[in-house]
Amino acid sequence: MKKQVKRGIALAMTAVMTTGLAGCGGGETAATTTAAAESKGAESSAASNTETEAAAEFSYPMEAGEPLQYWVETTTTVSANYANLGDTPFAKGLMENTGVDIEFLQPPQGQQKEQFSLIIADGDLPDIMEYNWVSDYPGGPEKAIRDGVIIPLNDVIDQYCPNLKKYLAENPDIDRAVKTDDGNYYCFPFIRGDESLLNTIGLMLRADWLEELNLEVPETVDEWYTVLKAFKEEKGATAPYTFEYTNNQYLGANPFVAAFDTNYSFYIGSDDQVHFGAVDEGYKEYLETMHQWYEEGLIDADIATMKNDQVSAKITNGTAGASLGQAGSRMGTWLAAAQQTNPDYDLVAAPQPSREKGQKAEFGHVEVAYSGRSSAAITTSCEDVERAARLLDWAYSDEGHMYYNFGTEGVSYTMEDGEPIYTDEILNNPEGLPVSQAMSAYIRGNYNGPFVQDERYVVQYYTMDQQKKTPEVWGAGSSNGAAHVMPPITPTSDESKEFSTIINQINTYRDEMTLKFIFGDADISEFDEYVSNIEQMGLERALEIQNAAYERYKTR
């Protein structure tokens, strides 16, 4: 009771103070946003005007108040130079622009899942938590709400988040993806704002070797075989093809699985039903092919234990000639590192391989605009929900959008002909930082977070010609993958435990057997037995749950 009175007083104070501030602060913000608003068109500024009115003349920055605790995953490009996200110019500017003091809590790299569990078990939650609530919270977002971890945001968005509300109203596809089956909003989502941002992972190989050996960039599985064989025999590569096998992101994106018209895990089939790829006939063919390649030494013998640093070493020193990765953090880094010692070193992106020459691959790695990752939710421990909501909503305003993607005008970008162009601070950093690290100091656009990613970032992020070609080579023209990718569906709370029990067993078995088939520890003739074992673990029930969830998703 006492708390409610206190909060009431605080709200009243807020109202008084904001109206007072609007007089002087409003003009300033309007001036700084004009540049951004111009490129976005006049209609949006008109719309946001009416929104602001509805929100009782609210304007940024908010007046000082209690700091908010913000739990967020550590990113390599940030941690390379800053101990905490809060030390970056980005975070300082964010606090200044919104007027909210933020205390960033960051789990050690690679331990976010563990740390998340510990925080949940402890019950003393930070105000805001960025997480993949769809795939990493057991049972999904609806369960997280029912477990009392996060709060449903429907009323909050209505009252305090005009910018996000407007974005969702304009983008019904995303609106459908970011709520639960029951219609609850639960997060401030990370959204890839353009198709060119959806193809970030793909195959790449040594262009200089190809030229020397007079070979074309491979387009089919057979051509890949020829190329890898030549790399091994002519160029002495002992591990012609290698990639970060220990990273689930890469396993899920594996183009050679897709080449056999299937997927490592769940996918939407051409019958508009959910299927499990690892039991398909195509998966068997994939395993047979990989086993043959492994036997002939075309795949890294140590593939099962490969991590980023080892892969990077191999691809840059000529032990490997082909790999899988992002255009920015992998291709760019490898090119820059290897060219220092070998100026001829060159990489080229290869399209999603298909089985027939000239045929467009049916499957391929494509991300969805909203996958669930890095999305900020407000927890039940948050005492000032409005403040947290306003802080997060800012990212979806025109001003916030520019800030998250390009940083501060005059420092990290300048406007030229209505287009934001990164300054030399970013592209030719005076301290010699790579573009990815220089960007991470000022923006979040080059990795992730609760905002809409802008396509204009990526064309500048890719500074090398080899990188610039990747969106096209790996993109929609290369495969029909977008038709098969799983949308962010969730089982119901009741089914979630059953589903995760089944799928954990299946995944463990699949991971183990996949390697055994590839290494030849299990003969491919045992594939039928492998399939029937998976069926016995309850695959049918898992698919039933997935299909029901998919049906609910479609009718959201």
Partner 1 sequence: MKEFKKKVRTDGGMKEFRKKVRTDWMRNRSLYILVLPVVIFYILFNYKPIYGAIIAFQDYTPRLGISGSEWVGLANFKRFFSDIYFGRLMRNTLLLSVYDIIFGFPAPIILALLLNEIHNRFFKNVTQTITYLPHFISMIVVCGMLTDFSLSTGLFNDIIVFFGGERHPLLQDPSLYRMIYILSDIWQQVGWGTIIYLSALSSVDSQLYEAAQIDGANKWKQTLNVTLPGIAPTIITMFILKIGKLMSMGYEKTILLYNPSTYETADIISSYVYRIGLLEQDWSYSTAIGLFNSVINFVLLIVANKLSKKYSETSLW
Tokens representing 226?
Answer: 């020829």
Which residue in the block uniquely carries the two structure tokens 């003969």?
Answer: 523
- The DSSP output letter for 355 is S
148 binds partner 1 (CB under 8 A): yes
Closest distance to partner 1 from the beta carbon of 302 (Å): 5
Cα–Cα distance, 180 to 148 (Å, whole number): 15
- Does the protein bind partner 1 through residue 29 (CB under 8 A)? no
Ranges within 272-301 binding partner 1 (CB under 8 A): 301
Q: Which of 180, 220, 310, 375 binds partner 1 (CB under 8 A)?
A: 310
**Which of these segments, 209-217, 264-272, 304-312, 328-336, binds partner 1 (CB under 8 A)?**
304-312
Least separation, in Å, of the C-beta of 65 and partner 1? 27
Is residue 249 at the binding interface for partner 1, with CB under 8 A as the rule?
no
Distance from the Cα of residue 215 to its chain's centroid: 34
Residue 111 or 273: the one with the smaller Cβ distance to partner 1 is 111
For residue 306, the Cα-to-chain-centroid distance in whole angstroms is 21
CB of 116 vs partner 1, minimal distance in Å? 8
Pick the binder of partner 1 from 135, 519, 544, 548 (CB under 8 A): 519
Residue 512 binding partner 1, by CB under 8 A:
yes
Number of residues engaging partner 1 in binding (CB under 8 A) = 36
Confirm or reject binding of residue 147 to partner 1 (CB under 8 A): yes
Contact between 347 and 466 (Cβ < 8 Å): yes
Helices 493-519 and 281-295, interaxial angle, to 10°?
40
Q: Judge contact between 128 and 70, C-beta under 8 A.
A: yes
Q: Rule CB under 8 A: say whether 546 interacts with partner 1.
A: no
121 binds partner 1 (CB under 8 A): yes
The residue range among 19-27, 469-477, 479-487, 511-519 that interacts with partner 1, by the rule CB under 8 A, is 511-519
CB 89, min distance to partner 1, A: 32
For residues 201 and 365, is the Cβ–Cβ distance under 8 A?
A: yes
d(CA 485, CA 268) in angstroms, rounded, equals 6
Q: How far is CA 235 from CA 240, 317, 518, in A?
A: 9, 12, 24
Question: What is the SS3 assignment for 135?
Answer: coil
Query: Token match 């949006």: residue?
Result: 44
| 527/284 Cα distance (integer angstroms) | 7
Question: Which stretch, 214-222, 422-430, 471-479, 499-507, contacts partner 1 (CB under 8 A)?
Answer: 499-507
Cβ burial 132-159 (10 Å sphere, 16+ → b, else e)? bbbeebebbbbbbbeeebbbbbeebbee
Handedness of CA 375, 451, 443, 93 (dihedral sign): negative
Name which of residues 415 to 474 contact partner 1 (CB under 8 A): none
Per CB under 8 A, contacts with partner 1 among 522-541 are: 537
139's torsion region: left (phi>0), alpha (psi -120 to 50) or beta?
left
Query: Does 265 interact with partner 1 (rule: CB under 8 A)?
Result: no
CB of 503 to partner 1, least distance (A): 10
Residue 153 beta carbon to partner 1: minimum distance, rounded to whole angstroms: 18
Rank residues 136 and 158 by Cβ distance to partner 1 and give the closer one.
136
The C-alpha R_g of the chain, in whole angstroms, comes to 25
Q: Which stretch binds partner 1 (CB under 8 A): 9-17, 47-55, 261-269, 496-504?
A: 496-504
Residue 516 interacts with partner 1 (CB under 8 A): yes or no? yes
Long-range contacts at 311-317 (CB < 8 A, ≥ 24 apart): 311/242, 311/243, 311/244, 312/337, 314/239, 314/242, 315/242, 316/345
Of 299 and 452, nearer to partner 1 (C-beta) is 299
How far is residue 449's CA from residue 404's CA, in Å, rounded to a whole number? 9
- Does residue 110 bind partner 1 (CB under 8 A)? no
Between residues 294 and 406, which has the closer beta carbon with respect to partner 1? 294
DSSP assignment of 226-267: HHHHHHHHHH--SSSB---TT-HHHHHH-HHHHTTT--SSEE
Q: Which is nearer to partner 1, 32 or 246 (CB)?
A: 246
Least distance from partner 1 to the Cβ atom of residue 495, Å:
15
The one segment of 33-41, 326-334, 399-407, 502-510 that binds partner 1 by CB under 8 A: 502-510
Q: Considering beta carbons, is residue 166 or 516 the nearer one to partner 1?
A: 516
Count CB-CB contacts under 10 A for residue 307. Answer: 11
Stretch that binds partner 1, among 19-27, 144-152, 176-184, 396-404 (CB under 8 A): 144-152
| 109 scored as a contact of partner 1 (CB under 8 A) | no
Q: Least distance in Å: CB of 389 to partner 1? A: 22
Task: Candidates 43, 122, 271, 424: give the one binding partner 1 (CB under 8 A).
Answer: 122
Determine the Cα–Cα distance for residues 511 and 254; give it in Å rounded to an integer. 13
Residue whose C-alpha is closest to residue 363's, from 254, 279, 471, 287: 254
Choose which of 28, 63, 96, 114 interacts with partner 1 (CB under 8 A): 114
Interacting residue ranges for partner 1, rule: CB under 8 A: 113-114, 117-118, 120-123, 137-138, 147-149, 238, 246, 301-302, 304-305, 310, 319, 380, 497, 500-501, 504-505, 508, 511-512, 514-516, 519, 521, 537
